[in-house]
Structure 1
């Protein structure tokens, strides 16, 4: 009977090496190895059943040889390897879940802190804007008060001018040049005498 086991399949489980990646083995590679091992076990099982059927047809009792015992031993060893690989895969999944939960919690905390900082900045900006607005309103009120005072003084001055006009007979003459002042004096001197 031809050998149904290839060289790759003849590799024992002790020859299998998984590269170490961040936080354990590469999950994809372990899963591929488990699938390949399960396929080899299935092929061995099919080959065994085929051999048993052939033996039954030939009416020859199947001998229990060391090779059969080795195949059974190999099958148990493969089952153990598969069980260990599955357990490791579960542990890796468990660690990955915990890490993702931790990352999610950290992200939620960072988001809450950022939101809190944003709210505090908004409150500080509102306070600053309110202070600026209050100062501007006080300055505007002060300017309006000064403006009213100036208008009041101008009104008093205008009122005083009107009173002076009324008191001195109508129009108030503007002061002229020195020549204009001397002319009326000379004219007055000739009139008197």
Structure 2
């Protein structure tokens, strides 16, 4: 749901710009707020200039001594017009000051909100990075432990194989030698059994 800023809520400041941030205000809404504020400022400025023109037109030169004042009857009326114009100009100036104060306060709040959002984003990113590093260190420790256990087990297997070679290797050679002797008798014994 998009909020549109009405002219009565906007404040006139043509040089106010809000930065575009990841988490912040809707850019179109802020631009609309500024556009409406600028229109109001233009209207107030036109009204001020019109009041000054009325004031300038209403001013009548004071008569010199001894001359009859042709506008003597108009004096009170002109004074009232001048008073009204002056009070309107003062009211316009005061309203412009109030609105510029509101815009300044809103801009300061926007900047503070942006700083808070940035700090929260940095804090979350740092926590996530620490979590990733911690998990990686845990996995590395598990891999090292598993690797060391495998090396220890391989060492034990190698020791068992070495022991088996020592124990059964010698008997295997003796059995092989006996089998070879039985199949191939020595030539000296064979020569003595032959008739001569």
TM-score (normalised: structure 1): 0.61
Out of 122, 133, 139, the position equivalent to 1:132 is: 139
Q: Which has the larger radius of gyration?
A: 1
CA shift in 2, pair 1:71/1:147, >3 Å = same
Residues of 1 paired with 2:82 and 2:178: CA distance?
133
Shift of 1:47: 3.7
Q: Which has the higher contact order (CA 8 A, sep 6+)?
A: 2
Residues of 1 paired with 2:117 and 2:178: CA distance?
83
Show the counterpart of 2:44.
Answer: 34
Residues of 2 paired with 1:105 and 1:86: CA distance?
29
Residues of 1 paired with 2:163 and 2:7: CA distance?
100
Out of 100, 106, 113, the position equivalent to 1:99 is: 106
1:44-80 per-residue CA deviation (whole Å, 9 max, x = no partner) reads 355456x759x99xx87432234x5334322321221
Structure 2 residues without counterparts, runs of 5 or longer: 1-5, 13-35, 181-196
CA shift in 2, pair 1:30/1:82, >3 Å = farther
Shift of 1:137: 0.7
Superposed counterparts of 1:117-156, under 5 Å: 117-156=124-163
Residues of 1 paired with 2:56 and 2:11: CA distance?
38
Task: Check whether the contact 2:51–2:85 (CA below 8 A) recurs between aligned residues.
Answer: yes
CA shift in 2, pair 1:72/1:19, >3 Å = farther
What is the Cα-based RMSD across aligned positions, in Å? 3.4
Shift of 1:140: 0.8
TM-score (normalised: structure 2): 0.60
CA shift in 2, pair 1:63/1:52, >3 Å = same
Out of 56, 59, 63, the position equivalent to 2:71 is: 63
Instruction: Give the total of aligned pairs.
Output: 151
Residues of 2 paired with 1:90 and 1:78: CA distance?
18
CA shift in 2, pair 1:43/1:106, >3 Å = closer
CA shift in 2, pair 1:165/1:149, >3 Å = same
